[in-house]
Each structure stands twice: as C-alpha cells, then as structure tokens.
Amino acid sequence: MPVRSRRSKRRQGAGVGAWFDVFEGEFDFFGELEAAGIDLDRHGKPDLEVARTAWSELGEAFMEEFAARYPDGAHFTPWAVEKFGLPAATKRRPGRR
C-alpha cells in the first residue's frame, strides 16, 4: 500500500508565521506564502490588497509576535505598519483573553 503524503501543519494556511517576513519587510524571503498558495510577484511580494486583507486579520497577532522578538524595541518600523497603519484592536468578549 502506498504511503499517503501529509502536509506539514506549519504550512497549512497562511498564518502570522507565513506573513511575518512580509509584514516586517515587504518581501517573502523564505517562500512561506508561496508554499501556502499565495501568489507572489517575481520579487517575492504579494498583491497589495491581499496583504492589506491579511493585515486586517493578522495585524494584532503580528504586533504581539514582533514585540516578543524585539523585547527591547526594534530599530525600525515594520513595513505593514508604515503602509497600513497600526492594526485595529479586535473586540473581545468579556471573560476571554
């Protein structure tokens, strides 16, 4: 019986990890978005509207990850913040963290 191939859980969907390089510096340096099925131009950039939509969904999580990676503060402003502004805080239901 042939072995069934399995997709890596890390590669399923394009979450914050896949978008991190783009949000930080505009380019998909490691091809994570391409592996997740997001079309990139020849320079490794996604379409601006696709990036804007991803930022609206993942921006807050990115900022948390960005702060964790640079606990003493980064010496630069992430590309997505410059391009789209700070992410809107999501409304949370009472009693949830």
Judge whether 54 lies within some domain.
yes
Count of domains observed in the chain: 1
Judge whether 62 lies within some domain.
yes
Query: How far, in Å, are 65, 81, 96 from residue 91 at the CA level?
Result: 19, 20, 11
**Start-to-end CA span in the chain (Å):** 46
Q: What is the pLDDT of residues 35-82, one digit of tens each?
A: 888 999 999 999 999 999 999 999 999 999 999 999 998 899 999 999
Judge whether 83 lies within some domain.
no
Judge whether 78 lies within some domain.
no
Q: What is the pTM of this model?
A: 0.74
Structure tokens at 78: 């992430």
- Domain range holding 34? 13-71
Nearest-angstrom CA–CA distance, 44 and 95 = 41
Nearest-angstrom CA–CA distance, 58 and 87 = 8
Q: What is the pLDDT of residues 21-38, one digit of tens each?
A: 999 999 998 889 988 889
Judge whether 84 lies within some domain.
no
DSSP letter (8 states) at residue 29 = T
Judge whether 87 lies within some domain.
no
Residues listed for the chain: 97
Judge whether 81 lies within some domain.
no
Q: At what angle do helices 48-69 and 16-25 cross, to 10 degrees?
A: 100
Judge whether 85 lies within some domain.
no
